[in-house]
């Protein structure tokens, strides 16, 4: 099963035909399966809805735009917690890598943040690009959930929207306890905020603390804005992965 190719579909592509579940493939997906992956009729692949469900699926011998669902698969590759990363957008295309690697590590949701020191104002195509990168990384890492990438919002908006009992703001300077000390087995919904190259402003850190975020350290070294979320996700994955 592990060798089979994976493809993300939307739930609207699933339909029942004579008590048999089938998937209607888009033209782009047919091109990908038949031309790029060079699969042939009757070959099998794994279709995933990106929301936790995966099916063993077989390409149809007659119609290239339909494939047959053979069975629902029981895939357990997700972390047992939900992790939202609030990430101030770094410069250039660095966010592409953050989305890719944090998806592999199990992130549930990424909220791109426009902070006081954010230098980038992303174009509208960027969101689609990040969502596509998240889909591909989820397929590659055999996840069943494709993380949601939210529309970029200002820090001031995000700080009121994203709060749980386990919300943390990573601050590179200051005498704060390490994030690892707060990782507890009773948390199911964690939010972690990470600043841009220039760091969070003092005003932002204070606002976050007022909203219930705990300021935390990620260790003695100053990590790049790209490295910090990958490190935080690695810590969480190492703690919560069940095997
Ligand atoms: N220019 C900032 C400075 O010199 O203080 C450093 C910013 S750092 C490159 C980018 C972000 O990564 C920070 O805002 C913080 O959220 C996170 N970060 C990096 N290293 C960290 C550390 N050791 N502890 C906590 N957060 C860290």
Atom of ligand 1 nearest to the CA of 195: 14
Q: Is the pLDDT of residue 2 over 60?
A: no
Give distance in angstroms: CA of 46 to centre of ligand 1: 39
Residue 124: per-residue pLDDT: 79
Between helices 94-105 and 124-140, what is the axis angle to 10°? Answer: 30
Which protein residue's CA is at the shortest distance from atom 11 of ligand 1? 195
Q: Whose CA is nearest to atom 2 of ligand 1?
A: 199
Tell whether ligand 1 has an atom less than 6 A from the beta carbon of residue 195: yes
Report the range out of 11-15, 82-86, 186-190 with the highest average pLDDT: 82-86
Domains by residue range for the chain, with CATH: 6-73 (2.40.240.20), 82-240 (3.40.1280.10)
Rounded CA gap, 146 and 51, in Å? 7
The CA 143 to ligand 1 mean position distance, Å, reads: 29
- Looking at the chain, the whole-number percentage of residues with pLDDT higher than 90 is 80
**By alpha-carbon position, which residue is closest to atom 3 of ligand 1?**
199
- What pLDDT, on a 0 to 100 scale, did the predictor assign at position 186? 72
Ligand 1 within 6 A of 172 CB?
A: yes
Model confidence over 54-66: pLDDT tens digits? 999 999 867 788 8
Most confident range, picked from 28-32, 93-97, 226-230: 226-230
pLDDT surpasses 80 at 121 = no
């Amino acid at each position: 099963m592990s060798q089979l190719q994976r493809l993300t579909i939307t739930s609207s592509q699933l339909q029942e035909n004579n008590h048999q579940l089938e998937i209607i493939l888009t033209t782009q997906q047919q091109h990908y399966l038949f031309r790029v992956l060079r699969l042939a009729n009757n070959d099998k692949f794994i279709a995933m809805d990106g929301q936790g469900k995966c099916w063993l699926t077989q390409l149809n011998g007659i119609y290239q735009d339909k494939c047959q669902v053979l069975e629902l698969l029981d895939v357990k590759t997700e972390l047992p917690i939900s992790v939202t990363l609030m990430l101030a957008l770094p410069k250039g295309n660095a966010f592409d890598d953050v989305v890719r690697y944090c998806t592999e590590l199990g992130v549930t949701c990424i909220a791109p943040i426009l902070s006081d020191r954010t230098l980038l104002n992303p174009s509208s195509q960027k969101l689609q690009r990040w969502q596509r990168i998240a889909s591909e990384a989820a397929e590659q890492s055999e996840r069943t959930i494709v993380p949601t990438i939210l529309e970029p919002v200002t820090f001031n908006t995000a700080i009121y929207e994203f709060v749980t009992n386990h919300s943390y703001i990573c601050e590179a300077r200051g005498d704060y306890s390490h994030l690892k000390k707060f990782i507890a087995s009773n948390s199911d919904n964690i939010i972690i905020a990470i600043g841009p190259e220039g760091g969070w402003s003092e005003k932002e850190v204070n606002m976050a603390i007022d909203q219930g975020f705990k300021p935390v350290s990620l260790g003695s070294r100053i990590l790049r804005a790209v490295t910090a979320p990958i490190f935080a996700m690695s810590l969480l994955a190492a703690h919560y992965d069940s095997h």
